[in-house]
Amino acid sequence: MSQHQQNPQYQPGLPPQPVKKRHILRNTMIALSVGFVVLAGGCVAVLANGVNDAAKDSTATKAEAPVVTSPATRPTEPASEPPASAEPTATPTEEDRVAKVGATQWFDYSDGVKVQVTTLKRFRISQYAAGGKPGDVGVIVTVTLQNGSSDTFDTGLVDVKLASGPNGDQADSVFDSEQNLGGGFEGSILPGKKKTARYGFAIPKAHVSSTLQLEVAPGWDYEGSHFEGKLSN
């Protein structure tokens, strides 16, 4: 057989490019593993059995591990959400749920916050004001908040409502720059301090002589404090 007819010798290919490094490592490991299995298949089988036994022992250990129950946990009862914090409540007694408008009566809340409506004053709504209807009479409500708690009080959620007439008709809010009537309270109140703000409303002229009803809530999680009083000029 001539040299040209001889079986070609195995020629190794070019080494893989560096961008395929992960594949090279994986293929090299597979080739080495195959050779190792051919030379020592029995040892691999024994080693695999040992690994399986170890895994079973590990699983059994996890399954047999005792469950530690907190002393405060009651296994027989389903877990429940923590109770919501109680809303601060105002202190006027059962027979005195409505305070009179003036500088002598406050509504005290359990967290130390106090509410007072000091005045109800009539005013003429300007033509550039927002809110109310033609012929309505303007009412300025002066509200004072005192922070008797140990934390800074945010006034951003203070809500003031006014109703008038025999049916308690809800009054429209009025924003009037001529009377410096805006959105009421702004900012916060430091512990031990108090702040006063004015709110504008519009009521029908026929309700001017009626007793006005007010509700002030220092925040969404506070009960409303109720006041009543007559409109002054």
CATH of the domain at 192: 2.60.40.1240
- Tally of domains within the chain: 2
Is residue 141 assigned to a domain?
Answer: yes
- The reply to whether 23 and 122 lie within a common domain is no
Question: CA angle, corner 55, sides to 51 and 56, nearest 5?
Answer: 120
**The predicted structure's pLDDT at residue 104:** 82
**The predicted structure's pLDDT at residue 222:** 95
**The predicted structure's pLDDT at residue 14:** 52
Is residue 84 assigned to a domain?
Answer: no
- The reply to whether 120 and 195 lie within a common domain is yes
- The reply to whether 44 and 104 lie within a common domain is no
Residues lower than pLDDT 50 in the chain = 1-8, 10, 18-52, 54-75, 82, 94-95
Contact 173, 131 (CB under 8 A): yes
Give residue 82's Cα distance to chain centre: 16
Q: Which of 206, 208, 205, 213 is nearest to 229 (CA)?
A: 213
Is residue 180 assigned to a domain?
Answer: yes
Give the C-alpha separation, 175 to 128, whole Å.
9
Which pLDDT tens digit goes with each residue over 33-42? 444 433 344 4
Is residue 162 assigned to a domain?
Answer: yes
**The predicted structure's pLDDT at residue 123:** 96
Q: Which of 116, 118, 128 is nearest to 179 (CA)?
A: 128
Range of the domain at 24: 18-63
- The reply to whether 105 and 186 lie within a common domain is yes
Give the C-alpha separation, 101 to 114, whole Å.
14
Is residue 155 assigned to a domain?
Answer: yes
Q: List Cβ neighbours of 28 (8 Å cut-off, separation of 6 or more).
A: none
Is residue 122 assigned to a domain?
Answer: yes
**The predicted structure's pLDDT at residue 67:** 45
- The reply to whether 47 and 159 lie within a common domain is no
**The predicted structure's pLDDT at residue 86:** 55
Is residue 77 assigned to a domain?
Answer: no
- The reply to whether 212 and 104 lie within a common domain is yes
pTM, two decimals, is: 0.60
